[in-house]
Amino acid sequence: MSKSTIMLVCAAGMSTSMLVTKMQNAAKEKGLDAEIFAVAASEADKKLASQTIDVVLLGPQVRFMAKQFQEKLEPLKIPVEVINMADYGMMNGAKVLEQAVQMMEAKVG
């Protein structure tokens, strides 16, 4: 798999930074070439316009925005899902990375 770009969206871009670090560590362990970063919901459109994103994961605290993101990203063929609340709460970077990889594989397949 070529380099993947995974964008996490949360309320302020802060709470997700620890999860990003854990996802990056999990990606390194699996030998995945992935750019993983978090942005505040207010910055998401700017990032989407300036960078090629393969998958968008929403933090549980912004799950109310899921429909809005799905409508915006569907024409761009960018999958979007809400991060499982238990995985988010436990900061389980490996599980959240697995979710993102499955979304990308479904997109290709």
Q: What residues are labeled active site?
A: 10
Token pair of 58 as six digits? 């929403």
Sequential DSSP letters for the chain: ---EEEEEEESSSSTTHHHHHHHHHHHHHHT--EEEEEEEGGGHHHHHHHS--SEEEE-GGGGGGHHHHHHHHGGGT--EEEPPHHHHHTT-HHHHHHHHHHHHHHHH-
